[in-house]
Amino acid sequence: MSAWSELASQRLPRSEGPWAWLAAGSVALSLLMLGGLLLLIAVRGLGHFWPAGVVQLELEDGRALAGRVVRELPLEQGERERLYYTANRDLDGQVWHWLAVSDIVASERPRDLLVLERRFHGEFIGRLVEVGSVDFPDPTSTATADWNALQASLAELQALRSERDRLRREQLRPLIQQLDADPRDAQARRELAAVNERVRALQHAMQGKVAILESADGRRLVQPLDEILRAWRPNAMTTGEKLTAWARGVWRFLSEGPRDGNTAGGVWPAIFGTVLMVLLMSLLVAPFGVLAAVYLNEVAHQGRLTNLVRISVRNLAGVPSIVYGVFGLGVFVYGVGGSLDEWFFSDELPSPTFGTGGLLWASLTLALLTLPVVIVATEEGLARIPVQQREGALALGATRFETLTRVILPMTVPAMLTGVILAIARAAGEVAPLMLVGVAKLAPQVPVDAEFPFLHLERKFMHLGYHIYDTAFHGNDVQAALPLVYATALLLIGVILVLNLTAIFLRHYFRTRHGYVPRQ
Amino acid sequence: MRSTLPISIPSRFQPAASGSIIDFPAEASCFQVEALSLAYGGKPALQEISLRVPRHRVTAFIGPSGCGKSTLLRALNRLHDLNENVSHEGRILLEGQDIHAPEVAVDELRRRVGMVFQVPNPFPMSIYENVAFGLRLQGGLTRRRMDDIVEWALQAAALWDEVKDRLRASAWSLSGGQQQRLVIARSLAVRPEVLLLDEPASALDPISTLKIEELIRGLKSQLTLILVTHNMQQAARVSDYTAFLQEGELVEYAPTDILFTNPTLRRTENYITGRMA
């Protein structure tokens, strides 16, 4: 008997027949599928940030191309086809090229191939010819590529940029505020003009340099340095450098706003919007859910009507989420929001303030959506409290209210948090209702800032789930957006995980405080 | 406290089928139960029970399961109020006052009549907070006074020496017997006049049981104790008077030594000698 079969026979006695194997098999299958899905999302999502090498190709028909291999598919008769990302939208008009492998005559990885991430027209793949002044660009220059000069110029540019931002932040803004307070302050006015002049000078200096670039097929391009976000030579990078670049890429994805119609850049506003919306939702749903459960379980007469309400609440959990979205749009946005606008923001009309989708309405709608979950979890928690605890408190002269608030509710906190965890898990992944009540494709302003009242509940916000949907189906370049979709999906899973873990740790804290362990 | 009590006065409420029912003068009684009948949703659980419980004594209620002894005990501090299906007739007087009278606040009644349950039920708080729970409900105590009362209660429950160094530890970290003594301390802290004990030692090991029994005997100088127990040896060991209930009726009520050695009725004798099914 082998060790394996010995182990198997120990764990699964013969007498249990095929059922044990069936059960174990389905668990294994579920785990496998789940793990596979997570792995796919993680690999595709995180792989996007890896500075992959670029190849220079020579084709049978004499064309030359440079780009990254994206994927390879088999064609008929053993032929294979590869998808190359060649960038250079401003030169070629298209950035994706399907090429038959047999058409490729030569393929090499020259170290001087350069990749630029630019503010306009996406990436550039090619060679650097010269870094020159904007006034006399010489597109016919024969100078050799000077990578170090480009790096130095970019660093110089970055220094200018941060100096400008510092001036704006530290001098311009206080002066403008001062002038707002007293428009006749001549001294401030003069200072403002001086600072403005310096900012303008800095900006002029920033626009002063261009790079002359050459694509793989020899066409040239004058690229203002100011529009270059990053430059790298993937074929010349060591693994360590690539790892650093990868980490920086991930960080930029997490900390920056989206660019190019959501097909590039980061998702920070969406992370912020998702977390803020879920937190607001939890703040709204927890008190209402707990109060409702307390009423149903502790106050209401336990009769047929209470049971009917209970069953209805459980059934509400099964209503499609889009129905909640429509309800939120009709009642919260148009009904409540419209009235608020008429009463308090009438001078802004006809442009709506609260009468349009926003953070508050989205949170309220999701709170409504997740209310049954919290009610059910809290009710079950209340029902689990041993009757001796109640009687113990009552026998000490506590009123029913004191018993509830001092003994029963503290003991029910873990169950309430279980409800909130389930609510978070459901709400954070919900997209359909949000599309009706306040999510935006692009809302670079996060709903929290330094401006009174700091939390802007009426603002539209970005959401990771909606961002996935938008990038995947509404972008102008689906191929470019695809890795971002995977990355965003991974991030959404991560955000939900973090939110849930927070709640789970909180629950654990409340459970173990004073060593309370439910008795068998 | 009174040093002597009259022991055998014929009852005014004595039903025909009953054995001897001991009676006490009203002024020596803490509780006077008068013709109490109680039903759960129409199903009778107690029938015309009349008895008086003497002050500063230990009175035990014994009888087979379902005889109504716990029901009777829980009627004494109106714990049945929680159950809408319970209906009752007759009166219960505590120190001469009807406990169901409208002017009686049920929480005040329960403070005066404490209760200890079968399963130790400390709250999920620290040892200190458990004992202070009832005091905090009343409020108006200084920190120092609260500390004093907590210490006094824990000493009265013979638990102080075991927990004085870990008052902030969880009450759930104590053993079962310690938990039960903590619950007794918690009840004592609000200075009740009566302590109802519903099979307080049935979930405990023999040594813990012994400690609880010693405690019960020691506490009667301070308050009246009423004990419900399955264990007849326990009733014999700790109680001064014993009432035997069967099928919702009070069968016999006598000084403990008399009831256990010389019961007037055959069915009492059968029960205490274990000849009853």
pLDDT per residue as tens digits for the range A137-171: 666 666 665 788 888 888 888 888 888 888 888 88
Full pLDDT tens readout for chain B, 277 residues: 444 454 444 444 444 455 678 888 878 888 889 889 999 888 888 888 888 899 999 999 998 888 888 899 999 989 888 888 888 888 898 888 888 888 888 888 999 999 999 888 888 888 999 999 988 888 888 889 999 999 999 988 888 888 889 888 888 888 888 898 899 999 999 889 999 999 888 878 888 888 888 888 888 888 999 999 888 888 888 999 999 988 888 888 989 988 888 888 888 888 888 765 4
The enclosing H or E element of B259 equals: helix B256-261
Is residue B202 within 8 angstroms of chain A, CB to CB?
Answer: no
Dihedral (C-alpha) A363, A364, A365, A369: value to the nearest 10 degrees? 100
* Phi, psi values for residue A59, rounded to 5°: -100, 165
Summarised one tens digit per residue, pLDDT across range A61-78 is 888 889 988 888 888 888
Pairwise CB contact (< 8 Å): B121 & A391: yes
Residues 6+ apart with CB under 8 A from B82: A390, A394
Average pLDDT over residues A398-413: 88
Place of tokens 């090619």: A126
Neighboring chain B residues of A392 at a CB cutoff of 8 Å: 117, 121-123, 183, 186
Q: Which of B235, B130, B237 is nearest to B181 (CA)?
A: B130
Report the residue from A389, A396, A411 with minimal CB separation from B190: A396
Q: Which helix (H) or strand (E) holds B10?
A: none
CB distance B222 to B156 below 8 Å? yes
Q: What H or E segment, with its residue span, contains residue B133?
A: helix B127-138
pLDDT given for residue B264 in this prediction: 85
Chain A and chain B share a number of CB contacts under 8 A equal to 80
Tally of helices (H runs) and strands (E runs) in chain A: 18, 12
Q: Is residue B117 part of a domain?
A: yes
Put simply, whether A389 touches B (Cβ < 8 Å) is: yes
Distance from CA of B199 to the nearest CA of A (A): 13
pLDDT, average across residues A343-372:
84
Query: B102: helix, coil or strand?
Result: coil
Distance of CA A341 to the CA centre of its chain: 31
> Does the beta-carbon distance from B108 to A393 stay under 8 Å?
no
Name the residue among B111, B169, B196 with its Cβ closest to that of A396. Answer: B111
CATH architecture of A268-515: Orthogonal Bundle (1.10)
Chain centroid to Cα A292, Å, comes to 33
Q: Which amino acid belongs to residue A33?
A: M
Distance (Å, whole) CA B213 – CA B114: 17
Helices (H), A317-458: 321-327, 338-344, 359-384, 387-394, 400-403, 409-428, 432-437
The one-letter code for the residue type at A71 is: R
Q: What tokens were used for B158?
A: 């013979």
Structure token digits, residue A32: 């496998």
Q: Is B134 within 8 Å of A398 when comparing Cβ atoms?
A: yes
Rounded CA-CA distance B115/A392 in Å is 7
Secondary structure (DSSP) of chain B: --S--------SS--TT---B----GGGEEEEEEEEEEEETTEEEEEEEEEEEETTSEEEEE-STTSSHHHHHHHHTTGGGG-TTEEEEEEEEETTEETTSTTS-HHHHHHHEEEE-SS----SSBHHHHHHHHHHHH----HHHHHHHHHHHHHHTT-HHHHTT-TTSBGGGS-HHHHHHHHHHHHHHT--SEEEEESTTTTS-HHHHHHHHHHHHHHTTTSEEEEE-S-HHHHHHH-SEEEEEETTEEEEEEEHHHHHHS-SSHHHHHHHTT---
Interface contact A394-B121, CB threshold 8 A: no
User: Mean pLDDT throughout A16-43?
Assistant: 91
List chain A residues with CB under 8 Å of B196: 395
Percent of residues in chain A assigned helix, strand, coil, to nearest 5? 60, 15, 25
Residue A391 to residue B115, Cβ atoms within 8 A: yes
Nearest to A517 among B172, B186, B196 (CB): B172
Contact yes or no for A172/A166 (Cβ under 8 A): no
The whole-angstrom distance between B139's CA and the closest CA on chain A is 12
Nearest CA-CA distance, residue A410 and chain B, Å: 9
Residue whose tokens read 């010269």: A130
Tokens matching residue A353: 């303030």
- Paired strand residues for A74: A80
Pick among B70, B126, B137, B186 to test the A interface (most A CBs inside 10 A) = B137
Output Rg (C-alpha) for chain A, integer angstroms: 31
- All residues of chain B having their beta carbon less than 8 Å from the beta carbon of residue A393 are 123, 133
**Are A246 and A141 a contacting pair, CB within 8 Å?**
no
Q: Look at residue B16 in the predicted model and tell me its pLDDT.
A: 43
Q: Are the beta carbons of B173 and A394 separated by less than 8 Å?
A: no
Contacts of A398 in chain B (CB under 8 A): 107, 110, 133-134, 137
Instruction: State which amino acid sits at residue B185.
Output: A
One DSSP character per residue, A83-134 reads: EEE---HHHHS--EEEEEGGGEEEEE--TT-EEEEESSSSEEEEEEEEEEES
pTM of the model: 0.77
Measure in Å the smallest separation between the Cα of B232 and chain A Cα atoms: 25
Cα(B89)–Cα(B251) distance, integer angstroms = 19
Domain that residue B65 falls in: 26-272
Specify whether the CB–CB gap between A47 and A56 falls below 8 A.
no
B274 Ramachandran zone, left/alpha/beta (phi>0; psi -120 to 50): left
**How far away is chain B from the Cα of A388, in angstroms, using its nearest Cα?**
6
Of B250, B136, B54, the C-alpha closest to A403 is B136
Min Cα separation A308/chain B (Å): 20
- Return the pLDDT at A14: 60
Residues of A in contact with B137 (CB under 8 A): 396-398, 402, 406
- Spell out the residues 6+ positions from residue B110 whose beta carbon is closer than 8 angstroms to its own: A394, A395, A396, A397, A398, B77, B78, B79
Q: Which of B114, B124, B138 faces A395 most closely, judged by CB atoms?
A: B114
Query: Is some CB atom of chain A closer than 8 A to the CB atom of B104?
Result: no
Q: What integer pLDDT is reported at residue A518 of this predicted model? A: 47
Structure-token match 């803020």, residue found: A276
CB of B52 less than 8 A from some CB of A: no
Beta bridge partners of B46: B38
Q: Residue B100's domain is classified under what CATH number?
A: 3.40.50.300
| pLDDT average, residue stretch A185-195 | 83
Nearest one of A118, A109, A125, A126 to A53, comparing CA atoms: A109
Largest CA distance in chain B: 58
The CA dihedral of A461, A172, A151, A57, to the nearest 10 degrees, is 40
pLDDT per position as a tens digit, A270-317? 888 898 999 999 999 999 999 999 999 888 888 899 999 999 999 988
**Nearest C-alpha of chain B: how many angstroms from A400?**
9
Cβ–Cβ under 8 Å, residues B2 and B231 = no
B2 part of a folded domain: no
Task: Give Cα separations from A441 to A273, A333, A366, B196 (angstroms).
Answer: 12, 18, 19, 68
- Contact yes or no for A395 and B126 at CB 8 A: no
Domain extents in chain A: 55-255, 268-515
Distances (CA, A) of B65 to B94, B240, B256: 27, 22, 20
> ipTM of the predicted structure?
0.84
pLDDT digits (tens, 9 = 90+) for A457-507: 778 888 888 988 888 888 777 777 888 889 999 998 998 888 888 888 888
Confidence at residue B15, expressed as pLDDT on a 0 to 100 scale: 45
- Is the pLDDT reported for residue A428 higher than 80? yes
Q: How confident is the model at residue A11 (pLDDT cuts 50, 70, 90)?
A: low
Domain presence at residue B47: yes
Q: How far is B76 from chain A (nearest CA, A)?
A: 11
Helix locations, A395-444, DSSP H:
400-403, 409-428, 432-437
The percent of residues in chain A predicted with pLDDT above 90, rounded, is: 19
Interface contact B171-A395, CB threshold 8 A: no
The count of structural domains within chain B is 1
In which element (H, E) is residue B132 found? Answer: helix B127-138
Q: Spell out which residues of chain B touch residue A399, defining contact as CB-CB under 8 Å.
A: 107
CA nearest neighbour of B15 among B176, B211, B245: B245
First to last CA, chain B: 41
Return d(Cα B47, Cα A206) in angstroms, integer. 100
Number of helices followed by number of strands (H, E) in chain B: 10, 10
